[in-house]
Amino acid sequence: MAQIIIRKVKKIVDGRVLFDANALNAQTGDVVGVVGGNGSGKTTLMNMIMGLDSDYQGNINTDGQIEFVPQINAQNDRSGGQTTSEKIRVAVAKWPEILILDEPTSNLDENHQHQLIKTVENYSGLTIIISRDRHFLNAVTSKIWSVEDNHFTEYNDNFDEFELRQNQEFKRRMDEYARQKDYQSSIRRAVEERKQKAAHIRKGSKNMGRIERAQTKSIREQNAGKMERSAHAMLKKANSGDANKPFQVAPIKLMVTDFPKFTGKTLASATQLKISFDHKILIDNGTFKIKPGDKVALVGPNGSGKTTLIKSIINRQNYLNVSDNARIGYFNQDLTALPLEDKVLNFVQKDSRVNDDRLRQVMGAFGITHAYYDKQIAHLSGGQKVKVQLLKVLLGANNFLVLDEPTNFLDMSAIDALASFIEQYPGSVLFVSHDQGFRNRVARRTLLITKCQLVDPAIQSVNQKVNSDLPLLKMRYDQLIQSGNGDPQEISAMKAKINRLTQ
């Protein structure tokens, strides 16, 4: 039986604790979901389990042959999804006792995601999956290893149950914090009352004569001191149980004036579009239109031409109609284009019209806090570089965002921040994402590539409605012709309308 036993492990990087894990366990039949923020140590822990990293404190006992499939990007003429599917098939075919998958759904279309779920369900060994895909995690996991605040914790839940537990714990801590603050406020009021009373005792009654005031000065001072010491003790006791407020990211707030206004009725469109790549027809007949304020998901199987269409739009190919007023911000995870010597805040701020306070708040929502502002981009982790690159596009002086797989490499909190940003963004957005939950949350429309056809349901529904009137028009036209007494102008107009609908 395959098993992994982790006890009292601590990983230190550059003099600081990256994470610790007191007790993690997994065995044959378990499907473990590993979740946490970018740079929190998830992949590092996998390397330690595989024996590739032995520089840590504590004990990791691994019993079983391991196959590991890393996160994969597109290669040459193949999509990342095609490459990922092949790598997973090869790994499973070896029948390892332990299978480790790093973000396996990042590039998979819906069909391949369904196949992967079936593969994991049918696999009889121990599976460990690093993923930020909520739908996939909930479909396959039997337990969760979560890293938060530099600490790994094990939960014997599927992902939905884990999130529910996390939300309940957050609410409990918020309620505890609110109760403690209310208690401290009441104590401070009582302390202030005692101090005022002590001051009154020390001063003495205004009815006292000079002799009485002098004779009672010592006792009044003693009583006032006791009351002040009592107030100080009350305050100290109240503060000793001070509850820390749970961290909560401030909601994203955008203003229309933060971005250039688009003037016109259409940002991009095409009719009877044909696109080929490497002598292969990807889109043989396509019609679409993107209007101001649209939030459009581009959906299709791996290798169907989604990225090719996107590149055609940003390059303003002459077989497309792209408005001159469209200021396009394009994101495609090309980290080689990042200026590694630039400091994070300066890079994001440059050319942005967003108010500085709002810009910093959006950066914080993505996990790029003030601690990173003065760091050079070269010193960031891979996930952090992706966030900075994405923030540069989102906060740039654009009115049309074109995002190719923006959720890949992002942790869950950053995905939530991206969804919130797109929901409030005043411009138009065209994006590709295989994250079903993300798409369902932000897309208002969908463009579908299927069997070399690009389908815009919005246009198709209008055409279907128009075409549904055609049989009735033809019947009416035939009736007028047969009657012999129809109005010639009405007949002529009806014939012209039928011709337009049948072109």
Q: Do 178 and 139 share a domain, yes or no?
A: no
CATH number, residue 297: 3.40.50.300
Task: Identify whether 182 is part of a domain.
Answer: yes
CA–CA dist 261, 399 (Å, integer)? 7
Q: Among the three residues 156, 175, 205, which one is the final residue of a domain in this structure?
A: 156
Least confident stretch, 69-83, 278-292, 376-390? 69-83
> 339 with 215, same domain?
no
- Per-residue pLDDT, averaged over 441-464, amounts to 77
Q: φ and ψ at 268, to 5 degrees?
A: -150, 145
Higher pLDDT: 79 or 81? It is 81
Domain annotation covers residue 412: yes
Rounded mean pLDDT, 177-185: 82
Query: Taking Cα atoms as reference points, which of 387, 401, 406, 403 lies closest to residue 348?
Result: 387
Contact (Cβ atoms closer than 8 angstroms) between residue 353 and residue 327: no
Query: Does 145 score more than 60 pLDDT?
Result: yes
Q: Do 172 and 149 fall into the same domain?
A: no
CA distance 195 to 225: 10
Q: What is the pLDDT of residues 240-295, one digit of tens each?
A: 766 677 666 677 888 888 999 999 999 999 988 888 888 888 888 888 999 999 99
Helices 356-365 & 382-394 angle (0-180, nearest 10): 140
* Residue at 57 is within a domain: yes
Assess whether 58 and 176 both reside in one domain: no
Asked if residue 374 belongs to a domain, the reply is yes
Q: Look up tokens 């969908």; give the residue.
A: 446
Q: Is residue 247 part of a domain?
A: no
- How many domains, in total, are found in the chain? 4
pLDDT: which is higher, 139 or 253 = 139
Check whether residue 216 and residue 76 sit in a common domain. Answer: no
Q: With helix as H, strand as E and coil as C, how does 12-76 read? A: EECCEEEEEEEEEEEECCCEEEEEECCCCCHHHHHHHHCCCCCCCEEEEEEECCEEEECCCCCEC
Q: Is residue 180 part of a domain?
A: yes
Question: Could you tell me if residue 208 is inside a domain?
Answer: yes
Residue 403: exposure state from Cβ atoms within 10 A (0-12, 13-18, ≥19): buried
Nearest to 390 by CA among 356, 423, 366, 413: 366
Contacting residues for 132 by C-beta, under 8 A, at least 6 apart: 35, 103, 407, 410, 411, 412, 415
Is 70 exceeded by the pLDDT of residue 486?
no
* 306 closest CA partner among 236, 169, 403: 403
Same domain? 178 vs 143: no
Residue 196, number of CB atoms within 10 A of its CB = 12
In which band, very low, low, confident or very high, does the pLDDT at 502 lie, cut at 50, 70 and 90? low
- Give the pLDDT score at 423: 93
8 and 58, same domain (yes or no): yes
Distance CA 496, CA 277 (A): 40
Helices (H) and strands (E) counted in the chain, each on its own, are 16, 18
Evaluate if residue 13 carries a pLDDT over 70: yes
- Determine the length of the chain: 503
Domain range for 206: 167-240
Q: Is the separation of the CB atoms in 161 and 216 below 8 Å? A: no
486 shares a domain with 422: no
Calculate the average pLDDT of the chain.
86
289 in the same domain as 233: no
Last residue of a domain, one of 193, 210, 240: 240
Residue-level pLDDT at 286:
84
pLDDT at 276: 85
- 248 within domain boundaries: no
Looking at the structure, tell me whether residues 97 and 220 fall in a common domain. no
Please provide residue 404's backbone torsions phi and psi, each rounded to the nearest 5 degrees.
-100, 105
Q: State the virtual CA torsion across 110, 30, 26, 159 in degrees, nearest 10.
A: 50
Question: 188 falls in which pLDDT band (50, 70, 90)?
Answer: confident
Mean pLDDT of 391-397: 96
pLDDT digits (tens, 9 = 90+) for 122-131: 999 999 999 9
Q: Order of strands across the sheet with 328-331?
A: 321-322, 268-277, 280-290, 453-455, 445-450, 295-299, 428-432, 400-404, 328-331
Using the 3D structure, point to which of 130, 156, 182 is the last residue of a domain: 156
Name the pTM for this structure.
0.72
Instruction: Verify that 45 and 11 share a domain, yes or no.
Output: yes
Q: What is the rounded distance in angstroms from the CA atom of residue 386 to the CA atom of residue 410? A: 8
Same domain, 85 and 229: no
Is the pLDDT score of 465 beyond 50? no
